[in-house]
Chain A
Amino acid sequence: MTDKKPVKDFATDWDHTDPKWVNDPYPIWQDLRERCPVAHTDRYGGGWFPSTHEVVSAIANDTEHFSSRLVVVTNNKYPEGSPPAPIGGAPPITSDPPFHALARRLLLPAFAPGPINALEPQIRALCRRHLDELSGEQIIDAASQYAQFIPPGVIAHMLGFPSEDGEIFRDFVHVVLDLIDLSPEVRAPLFVPMGEYFDQQIADHVAHPRDDLTSYLLNVEVAGEKLSPEHVRGTMVLILIAGIDTTWSAIGASLWHLATHPEDLARLVNEPDLMPLAIEEFLRFYAPVTMARLVKDDMEFAGCPMKKDDWILLGFPAANRDPEAFEDADKFIIDRTINRHAAFGLGIHRCAGSNLARLELRVAVEEFISRYPVFELDSSKDVTWAQGQVRGPRHIPLRVPV
């Protein structure tokens, strides 16, 4: 990482890669909510961070004043070769209306509950296989030896990529989502291997079409025309990146919670009917995904003088901890029955993969606690959390029964 000045006041100089924010952002957001609900920074070329549910929701639903052209905050607001709005580099997440609806509609049927629920046996088998590999071990890393394997396996299957390529996907995710604070000249070359990998997969699917999402995207027609190659590739990259780190972060955070809250672990083991409520509370409390927007034109919004192309760091996780929107917002309540959380976003960009994410999270937790009805953190090693816009534990050292 580059050498940076530590943040003194997050209200006027926020930085989501500052170690304080990375380790424990919740008190920072609570403080901002109380004294400066929309914080500002000059870092990254200038931007705003709303910390209340009300403002996060207003921005997510206002595509007239805020663009999704870029959804990851970096030091470069005008990356070379990135298609302009309303399409952007990774449709539909980088698209604005009216193009967005078209790009999104293409994807939704494959991610609707019907086809997704059919994957359950396969996901369960994947989880069991990885648990089997850990048998006999007393100390395991629930992140790098379990959670991180589940989503890549599922995504490789959906896109029709070799199942053993999961390790490669991990590197791609790291470049796109973690290494955000590098200068554009250092960052750009890191994208080359990912580009080459996708070229190769696309060429293989053109030569040998098959029943998977890649072949579907290559062949689907909109108004009599196939999608542009940039669109196909952008959507594939999106699915790979959006489908992996997000979900393993959610699985990891949930297992970390259970390791540090034995009373919740015991309840979940003894009352499996609680699982649907518990899953929504894991998602609310440890919401892993923060997105970005760009301000379209100079304007005043929520009392702030916003400038064209200012970043907005759209903190769905912060919205989920707002006491105005949730009773006892800072308490994890495993059987919370009223839970309008925004972990999958709000408005037209609602996570297209939410049915899959929920399924993976539920099955991964179910299989883990059925194999290990008791487990605890191994205090000799540290739990580390990912920095950047997707938050989850990278390492969860656990002591498990043999």
Chain B
Amino acid sequence: MRVSIDTEICQGQGRCFSIAPSIFDFDELGNGVVIGDGTLSDETLSLARLAQSNCPEHAIFIEE
């Protein structure tokens, strides 16, 4: 399972790295970035889903 951010769609709304700072960080422009390669465990999956369902731009994708 992996999570990714589509950088074309992300506008830096900042929800993902506030909700799930263990999965997401921000770059120098304030856009969201995935920490590491985005691999999710059973425990982090639900947190990633929560971030996904709060992204106003629908920029977060999860491959299960």
Do the beta carbons of A109 and B56 come within 8 Å of each other? no
Let me know if B39 is at the binding interface, CB within 8 A. Answer: no
Among B11, B30, B50, B54, contact of A355 (Cβ-Cβ < 8 Å): B30
State how many residues of chain A have any CB contact under 8 Å with chain B: 23
Let me know if B57 is at the binding interface, CB within 8 A. Answer: yes
Please report which residues of chain A, range 72-131, place their CB below 8 angstroms from some CB of chain B when the two chains form the complex: 105, 108-109, 111-114
A355 with B29: in contact, given A340-B54, A346-B57 (CB under 8 Å)? Answer: no
Cα–Cα distance between A280 and B29 once the two chains are bound (Å) = 22
Let me know if B53 is at the binding interface, CB within 8 A. Answer: yes
A-B contact count (CB 8 A): 52
A residues in contact with B14, CB < 8 Å = 113, 354-355, 358
B residues in contact with A228, CB < 8 Å = none
Do the beta carbons of B56 and A342 come within 8 Å of each other? yes
Cα–Cα distance between A341 and B14 once the two chains are bound (Å) = 12
Please report which residues of chain B, range 8-56, place their CB below 8 angstroms from some CB of chain A when the two chains form the complex: 11-15, 17-19, 26-30, 50, 53-56
B residues in contact with A114, CB < 8 Å = 26, 28
Cα–Cα distance between A348 and B29 once the two chains are bound (Å) = 13
Do the beta carbons of B29 and A276 come within 8 Å of each other? no
A residues in contact with B55, CB < 8 Å = 340
Chain A residues with CB under 8 Å of chain B are: 105, 108-109, 111-114, 276, 280, 337-342, 344, 346-348, 350, 354-355, 358
Chain B residues with CB under 8 Å of chain A are: 11-15, 17-19, 26-30, 50, 53-57
